[in-house]
Structure 1
Amino acid sequence: MCGIFCLLNLSPTHFELHKPFYEHLKRRGPNSSQDLTITNANPYFHCVLSSHVLHMRGRLTPQPVQDRTGNVLVWNGEIFGGLTVMPEQNDTAVVSQRLSSCNSPSEILSVFSSIQGPWGFVYYQKAGDYLWFGRDFFGRRSLLWNIVAQVLILTSVAAHTSGSGQSAWQEVPAVGLYRVDLKAAAESGTVQLEVYPWTQAGNPVSTCIETISKSVPDNCTTLINDTVLSSPVCPLNMSIPETLNEPEIHPNSHLSAKELEEILASKEKKEEVNYLTQVLSEAVRRRVQALPFEFESTSSPNNGHASVAILFSGGIDSMILAALADRHIPARQPIDLLNVAFKLQDPKKQKESARKHKKIHKNKPADLKKDEPASRTSCPFDVPDRITGRAGLKELQDLNPDRRWNFVEINVTQEELQELRHEHICHLVHPLDTVLDDSIGCAVWFAARGTGVIRQDNSLHPFTSSAKVILTGIGADEQLAGYSRHRVRFKTSGHEGLIQELAMELGRISTRNLGRDDRIIADHGKEARFPYLDEDVVSYLNSVPVWDKADLSLPRGVGEKLLLRLMAKHLGLGQSAVLPKRAMQFGSRIAKMEDSHEKASDKCTRLLTG
C-alpha cells in the first residue's frame, strides 16, 4: 500500500506543486519515502516519480523500484492471486521483476490481467520511453490525473484548492491501462493517451471512449487500442426465469425475526450457500493473512494488538466478515470492530426538526422508524448502528467466547466533524463533491482512525486501534440487490430490470465508492481490503442467476441479499441475518447533523475550502 505520484513536464519551465500534495501522500505511506527523476534532453521531457510506502507485505521494499535496465515502477497494490508471492517476498518487487521481462505491450497487459487484487501503478518503460499507468478492473485503489499547461500529474490523492488549474482533478477511469509515448509527447508538446481497455461482455468500446472522454484532462487526446486486457471476472448471468415475476408476498408485512428465519431455513440453496461460503472465506483468509513478514514471524501472543479491524455496524455484511475473519486469524490476536456514531441533537432541537419535517417522517417505512434509538436521553451516541453493533458483538462473543473482540465506540461531535472536515477530510474526498460523498467520506474517516473507547469491567477506557488492515463490506449490496433502488427497479421492470441495475452498479463502483474510500482509509496509514470484491467471489456471484441471489418478492430483511442471509445462518449467526439494510450515513446519524433538505446527489458546499 502506498501513496504514488508522477509529474511529467514537457516544458523546461519549472512547475511548483502545492505543499499539501506530499503531506497527504506521506500520510498514506509512513514507512518509506523516495523520489526518482528521469530527464531526456532531446526531445525534452522531465519526469518525477515519487512513492510513499506503507509496509504491508513481505520485507520492506522502498519505492520507486528501478531495475538494471532503467525501468521504474511505483506500485500501490496487493497481490492476492494470479502471481506467486512468497511470505517473505514483497509484491512490488515481484511485479517489477515480471515487467522487466516484458518486451511488448501484450506482455505487459498479460501481467496485469493475471493479477488478482487491488492495484494502481505508474511504470516508466525505458525501452521506447513509455509511461504506463492505470487502476485495477474495479478501481479499488485511487489514482487521480490532471494537466496544467504542459504538465501531466498522476497521484493517489490531491488537495482541494480554490480557483482554477490544480483544482481540476478527475479520477483516472478504471477502464484499462494507459500508455504515453514520452518522446512523441515531447516533440508535439501535448499528451496523447493510448488506452488498452478491459474486455467486458456487453460493454462496447464506445462505452470505454465515452467514460474516458468525460474525465480526460484538457489538452489531452486519446486513442483506443485494439489490444485489450482480459477481464478478471466472468460475465454477469443475464438469464431470466421462465415464470412471470411474482408480486411481493408480504408487501406491508412486519413478520417477527423468528418467522423470517423460518422462511430462510426453508430455502433449498445448500449448494450455492456452501460454495459462496468457500470462496468468500478464502477471500477473507487471503486478506487477513497477507501481513508484513516481520509481523507474522515475531508478533507476541500477549501484545494485545489487533492486526485486522472491520468497519462494523452489526449488519449482515460486516457480521459475515467478522465471522469469517475469526476462522483465519490466530486465536491469540484480538479483532477490532470499528463502530462510529455522530452525536444526536438535544431533545429540543430534535422536536423542532421533527415538526419541521413531519411529512418526511410520515412517509418513512415502519421498519425504519423502529431503528430509532429507544432512549434519546440515555446516551447521545446511541444511534442505530451503535445499537445493532452491540447486538452483533454479543452474537460474535457467543460464536467464539475465547476471542477478544474489541468493540471500539468511536464518538464524533459536530464541532470535531466540522473542524476536521474543513482542515483535512475535504481534500481526501476531492474530486468527488456530493452530499453523499461528504457523509460517507467523513463517517469512514473517523471510523478508520479507530480512536474511541472500549468497555471493560463495566467502565470505558480510551482506545485506538493499531490494525493496519481494515476490512470493509463494499460490494455486497451492489452484487446482491441490497439497496432500496433495486427493489424499486424490480417492482417496475421485473428480473430483467434488476439485472440491468446490478450490471450498472458494478460498472460504476470505482467512480462512486472505491477511489474515495481508498483515499479516506489510507490517510491513516491503513489499508482497505474488500473481500466481497475478490475476483473469485465476483465471478461466482456473476455466475449465479439473479433469483438465486435475491428474492425481492420477500420483505426487507429477507429478500435482498438472500444468498448472503442464508450463508449467515449457515455460519451460526442469529438476528443479524435478518436485519434490513441501513445506509451508513443514516445508521451513524451523520446525516442528522446537516441540512435535512439536502439530497444525496446535491453538490456539498461543506466540502469547499473557501
Structure 2
Amino acid sequence: MCGICCAVSAPAWRSAVDVCVSETLRRRGPCCSREITKTAADLSYCCRFSAHVLHMRGQLTPQPVEDQGGNVLLWNGEVFGGLAVGQEENDSQVLARHLSNCQRPGEILSVLSRVRGPWALVYYQAAQRCLWFGRDFFGRRSLLWRCVAQERSLVLSSVAPALPGSADAQWQEVPAVGVYRMSLGEFADPGSLPLEVFPWMYPDDVPPPLSHEFQWEGLSGWPSVVMNDSGLFLPAPVCPLNRAVADAPPGAGHAITPQPSAAELDSLLESAEKRKVVDQLIAVLSEAVRRRVQCLPCEGELSNPRTPAMSKPPGENADIAVLFSGGIDSVVLAALADRHVPVGKTIDLLNVAFKVQEPKSQKGATKKPKSHKLKAPNASTGPVEPVGSGSFDVPDRVTGRASLKELQALNPDRRWNFVEINVTREELQEMRQKKIGHLVYPLDTVLDDSIGCAMWFAARGVGVATEGMEQRAYTSAAKVVLTGIGADEQLGGYSRHRARFQSAGLEGLVQELAMELGRISSRNLGRDDRIIGDHGKEARFPFLDEDVVSFLNRLPVWEKAALSLPRGVGEKVLLRRAARALGLGPSATLPKRAIQFGSRIAKLENRRENASDRCARLHTT
C-alpha cells in the first residue's frame, strides 16, 4: 500500500502540495518516500509525483516508478490475480512493465481490467502527453481530487485535509465509475479542459452516448468530464447480479418464527443442495482470505518504522489482524485465516470499546477499590483499564470474548491475541481533532464520524492482551488488517434490508442489494482505506474479492438471505450456515450489530443525532 499524490498545473502556478497532505501521506507509507517532477518541453504543464510506500510484497520498490521512456506510475494497490506476479516480485514493478508496452488507450484498459485486487493509480504516458487515473471497480482504495479553475491546477491524492474557502477549492472522492484520461497538451489552454472517462461496464450494458457529460460534485465544470470518443470501456471484473425472483421456492417469502438457534441452522444444512452451496461459499471465501494473508515479506521485513520495537518471543508478533467484534463476519474471517496462517504465528483480534458512562452510585453503596491500570505504549492518554473493567463491557466486548473461546476450541494450538482496545471520551475527542476528522473528510455525516473513529482506534491496535489471568499492554504490529466489509451489503445484513423485504418482497430486496454494492465505494471504502492506512497498515476486504462477489451475484437472493426468518438467522443466512459448517457455535446466530452501536461510540456524545445528519464535530477540525 502507498500514499500517492500527483499535482498538475501550468508552470506559472507551480501547484504545491500542502505540508499537511504530505505528512498524512507519509503515515500511510512509512517505508520509503520519493518525488519526481515532469515539465513539458513547451512549458504547457508541470506534473509533480509523490509517493510514500508501505512495503508488502517482493523487493522494496520505491515509487514513483519511472521507466526508460519517461512514463511514471503511482500505484496504491495489490495484484491478487489477473497478472502474473512472482513470489519475489513487487506488483508495482510488474504493472509498470505491462503499462510500458501500451501505446493505445485500449491497451491500457486491457491491462487494468485484468487486475484482480484493490487499487488506485495515476499513470503518466510521456510520449502521448496524457495522464491516466482511477480506482478499481469497487473503489477499495481512496483517491481524492481537487480542481481549481483559476489556478489551472488539478491535484490527486490518497488523503487530504479539509480546506477553508469556497466549495470549488475543496477535495472530493474520485468517483469509482471507471478510469480517466487527461490530455496534458491542452492543460494550458484558457478554455474548458476535457477529461475523458472510460467506464466500468457489464457486457450487456448499453454504453452512454459519446457526447454524454458527467456532472461531478466538486469539479464546477473544470475540467469537463465526458465519455471517451472511442466508445471504449473496462469490462466489469464480476458477473451481474442475479435478479430472478419468479422461481423462488415455496416459503421463501413467508414467515417462519422459531427462536434463532444453532440447531435451526443445522436443520437448514440437511439438504444436499444447500450444503453444496455452503461448501462452495467456504471454498471461494477461503481462497480470498488465503490471497490476503500469504505472500507477505518475511518477519524481519514486516516491522513498521512507526511501531515501537517490542521484545517478544519468535512468532508472537502477528502479521495478520482482524477487526473483531465477535460477530458472524469477523469470526468467519478469523476461522478462515486460521487455515492459511502458519500454526506458529499469532493472529491479532482487534476489539474496540468506548467507555460507557457509569451511573451515579447510590447513597450508602460500597465503593469498590480502584483497579490497577496498565500503561499501553503509543496511547496518547496513557492509561488503559484492565480486562474485566465494567465501563468497557460493551456488547462487542462481550461477544468478542465469547467468540474468542469458539476460535480457541477450533484450534487450541493457535495463539490468538484478543486485543482489548479501550477508548475514553477525552481521547476520542483529542484524536478526532488531531487526525480522524481529516481522514474521514470529505465525508461528513454522524455515521462517518462514528465508524471512522471506531475503526481508527481499532486499527491502531493499542490495548491490552490477556492470557489466562495475566494482563499485559500490547500494540498490534500487524500490517494486514482483515475487515468484513461487503458481507452485509451482499447478504442482506442491514435492518433496512429486512424493512425493504417486508414492504416490497424479494424484488424490493434485490433492488436494495444492487444499490448497496453500487454505492459502497462512496459510502464506505474510500473512508475506511484512509482510516486504516493512517497507521501504516493495509485494509483487506475478502468479502469483496472478485471471485467471492461473482459467486454471490450468481446465486438467487433467497439463497443469501431468508428475511422471513427472525434476526440472528435470516439475515446473511448463507454465511451463518457456513459458520456452522466450519464448526462455529453461538456466534453463528448473533444478530447484526453495527460497530457504532456494538462499540458504544454512538452513546458517547449526542444521542439525538441521526446517522445521516451533518456531523458538527467533524467540522471543528
TM-score, structure 1 as length reference:
0.91
* C-alpha displacement of 1:206: 5.2
Aligned to 1:4, the other structure's residue is in SS state: strand
1:582 paired to 2:593: yes
Q: Which has the higher helix share?
A: 1
* C-alpha displacement of 1:164: 2.9
* C-alpha displacement of 1:184: 1.6
1:329 paired to 2:341: yes
* Correspondence list, 1:197-596, <5 A: 197-200=199-202, 205=207, 213-216=216-219, 218-225=221-228, 226-242=231-247, 248-250=254-256, 255=259, 257-266=261-270, 268=272, 269-292=274-297, 302-348=314-360, 379-596=390-607
| 1:369 alignment counterpart | none
* C-alpha displacement of 1:460: 1.8
| 2:615 alignment counterpart | 604
What amino acid is aligned across from residue 268 of structure 2 in structure 1? Answer: L
Q: Distance in 1 between matches of 2:568 and 2:217?
A: 38
Aligned to 1:608, the other structure's residue is in SS state: helix
Change (3 A) 1:127 1:291: same
Q: Distance in 1 between matches of 2:301 and 2:279?
A: 30
| 1:54 alignment counterpart | 54
* C-alpha displacement of 1:204: 5.3
Mark the runs of 5 or more structure 1 residues left unpaired by the alignment. 351-376
1:130-162 CA distances to partner (integer Å, 9 max, x unpaired)?
100000000000000011231100000001133
Q: Distance in 1 between matches of 2:323 and 2:219?
A: 33
Q: Tell me if the contact between 2:215 and 2:221 (Cα under 8 Å) persists in the aligned partners.
A: no
Q: Distance in 2 between matches of 1:316 and 1:289?
A: 23
1:223-255 CA distances to partner (integer Å, 9 max, x unpaired)?
10210001100011111133577555246x6x1
TM-score, structure 2 as length reference:
0.90
Q: Distance in 2 between matches of 1:467 and 1:211?
A: 41
Aligned to 1:187, the other structure's residue is in SS state: coil
* C-alpha displacement of 1:42: 1.8
* C-alpha displacement of 1:41: 3.9
What amino acid is aligned across from residue 85 of structure 2 in structure 1? Answer: V
Number of residue pairs aligned between Structure 1 and Structure 2: 581
| 2:376 alignment counterpart | none
Q: Tell me if the contact between 1:467 and 1:526 (Cα under 8 Å) persists in the aligned partners.
A: yes
% of aligned pairs identical? 59
Q: Tell me if the contact between 2:141 and 2:525 (Cα under 8 Å) persists in the aligned partners.
A: yes
* C-alpha displacement of 1:189: 5.7
Q: Distance in 2 between matches of 1:473 and 1:167?
A: 34
1:142 paired to 2:142: yes
Aligned to 2:38, the other structure's residue is in SS state: strand
Aligned to 1:51, the other structure's residue is in SS state: strand
Q: Distance in 1 between matches of 2:209 and 2:297?
A: 40
1:50-106 CA distances to partner (integer Å, 9 max, x unpaired)?
000000111100000000111000100000000010110000000000000011100
Mark the runs of 5 or more structure 2 residues left unpaired by the alignment. 304-311, 363-387
| 1:184 alignment counterpart | 186
Instruction: Return 183-192 or 466-475, whichever deviates more.
Output: 183-192
- In angstroms, what is the RMSD of aligned CA positions? 2.3
Q: Distance in 1 between matches of 2:111 and 2:282?
A: 29
1:488-544 CA distances to partner (integer Å, 9 max, x unpaired)?
111111111111111100000000000000000000000000000000000000000
Instruction: Return 204-213 or 394-403, whichever deviates more.
Output: 204-213
Q: Distance in 1 between matches of 2:76 and 2:281?
A: 29
Aligned to 2:471, the other structure's residue is in SS state: strand
* Correspondence list, 1:44-193, <5 A: 44-148=44-148, 149-164=151-166, 168-188=170-190, 190-193=192-195
* C-alpha displacement of 1:14: 3.5
Q: Distance in 1 between matches of 2:205 and 2:597?
A: 34
What amino acid is aligned across from residue 281 of structure 1 in structure 2? Answer: S
1:183-204 CA distances to partner (integer Å, 9 max, x unpaired)?
0222346432100001136765
Q: Distance in 2 between matches of 1:511 and 1:201?
A: 24
